[in-house]
């Protein structure tokens, strides 16, 4: 969505770095404008009216003004501060991981309102429960889905045959689950238990509240965490590689800049 010279939006602060003497460079996720990088001028001064409304892991109602290179925040009011998350180091580390993940999956611009809602919903669950692991797996899998990378879980991704019990593999490079006959060409294919496959299918098709009621013991939790980690690493590395490739093309061949600008 193109932005007017001055515009209002709600936003979640997903990254914050110091800029100059008293400013901050913020990465925001917004429902309508996607990911934005903006400057918050003077926010580190004790007298700043913006202070406290633009902390990392804070959802705020903002007014922004378009600048030459960076938009600037001219007004901010915190709407949701996730204070309970910020007060619990263990929960906070999980929340910060989700912010990094969401940041990595979102190109600048390109609004993805369902992914924005997913992040907020998962943060609220992290804040309200002590059992975080399944919420993290839910968010990881649904983020893959909402960004177009959901692995094929229903049948073998190669031969499309129905999966018989036992002997399944999951390959990020193949884009899903493989039967034993199709596994060979995929070096990254790792065994996946029937239980893990069932949980992934359930997470992919149910609401977070329902997913949180699934009873998953520690060994299965570890298997799910490893499977999702492989899928995320493969997806993000491929995306980062393609973005870097397009930037190189744009530098060497200026006519391709339009292509690079629309790349993830
Ligand atoms: Zn197959």
Domain ranges of the chain: 6-82
Look at residue 222 and tell me whether its pLDDT is greater than 90: yes
Give me ligand 1 centre to Cα 221, in Å.
26
The reported pTM is: 0.86
261 falls in which pLDDT band (50, 70, 90)?
Answer: very low
Give me ligand 1 centre to Cα 118, in Å.
32
C-beta separation of 141 from 204 below 8 A? yes
pLDDT at 3: 72
Give me ligand 1 centre to Cα 105, in Å.
29
Which two structure tokens, joined as six digits, stand for 144?
A: 């893959």
Give me ligand 1 centre to Cα 213, in Å.
32
Give me ligand 1 centre to Cα 114, in Å.
32
Give me ligand 1 centre to Cα 181, in Å.
6
244 falls in which pLDDT band (50, 70, 90)?
Answer: low
Distance CA 247, CA 239 (A): 12
pLDDT tens for each residue of 15-48: 999 988 999 999 999 999 999 999 999 889 988 8
pLDDT at 254: 45
Give me ligand 1 centre to Cα 177, in Å.
8
Buried b (16+ CB within 10 A) or exposed e, 192-222: beeebbebbeebbeeebeebbeeebeeebbe
258 falls in which pLDDT band (50, 70, 90)?
Answer: very low
Look at residue 248 and tell me whether its pLDDT is greater than 60: no
CB neighbours (10 Å) of residue 168?
Answer: 21
Give me ligand 1 centre to Cα 155, in Å.
8
Sheet (strand 168-171) strand order: 176-178, 168-171, 190-192
Mean pLDDT, the chain, integer: 88
Give me ligand 1 centre to Cα 139, in Å.
28
Give me ligand 1 centre to Cα 175, in Å.
12
Q: Which residue has the higher pLDDT, 250 or 257?
A: 250
CATH architecture, domain defined by 6-82: Beta Barrel (2.40)
Give me ligand 1 centre to Cα 158, in Å.
5
Give me ligand 1 centre to Cα 198, in Å.
18
Give me ligand 1 centre to Cα 160, in Å.
6
pLDDT tens for each residue of 124-155: 999 998 888 999 999 999 999 998 999 999 99
Distance CA 121, CA 210 (A): 13
pLDDT tens for each residue of 206-221: 999 999 999 999 999 9
pLDDT at 130: 84
């Amino acid at each position: 969505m193109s932005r007017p010279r001055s515009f209002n939006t709600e936003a979640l602060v997903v990254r914050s770095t110091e800029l100059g003497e008293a400013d901050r460079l913020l990465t925001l996720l917004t429902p309508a404008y996607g990911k934005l990088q903006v400057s918050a001028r003077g926010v580190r001064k004790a007298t700043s009216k913006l202070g406290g409304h633009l902390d990392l892991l804070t959802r705020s109602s903002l007014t922004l003004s378009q600048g030459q290179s960076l938009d600037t925040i001219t007004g901010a009011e915190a709407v949701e501060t996730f204070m309970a998350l910020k007060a619990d180091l263990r929960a906070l580390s999980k929340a910060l991981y989700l912010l990094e993940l969401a940041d990595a999956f979102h190109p600048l611009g390109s609004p993805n309102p369902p992914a924005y809602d997913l992040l907020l919903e998962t943060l609220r669950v992290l804040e309200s429960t002590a059992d975080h692991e399944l919420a993290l797996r839910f968010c990881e899998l649904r983020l893959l889905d909402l960004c177009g990378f959901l692995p094929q879980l229903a049948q073998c991704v190669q031969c499309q045959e129905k999966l018989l019990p036992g002997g399944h593999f999951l390959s990020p490079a193949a884009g899903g689950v493989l039967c034993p006959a199709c596994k060979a060409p995929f070096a990254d294919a790792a065994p996946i238990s029937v239980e893990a496959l069932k949980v992934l299918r359930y997470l992919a098709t149910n609401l977070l509240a329902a997913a949180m009621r699934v009873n998953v013991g520690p060994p299965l939790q570890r298997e799910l965490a490893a499977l999702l980690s492989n899928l995320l690493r493969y997806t993000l590395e491929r995306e980062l590689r393609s973005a870097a490739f397009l930037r190189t093309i744009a530098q060497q061949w200026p006519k391709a800049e339009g292509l690079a600008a629309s790349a993830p």
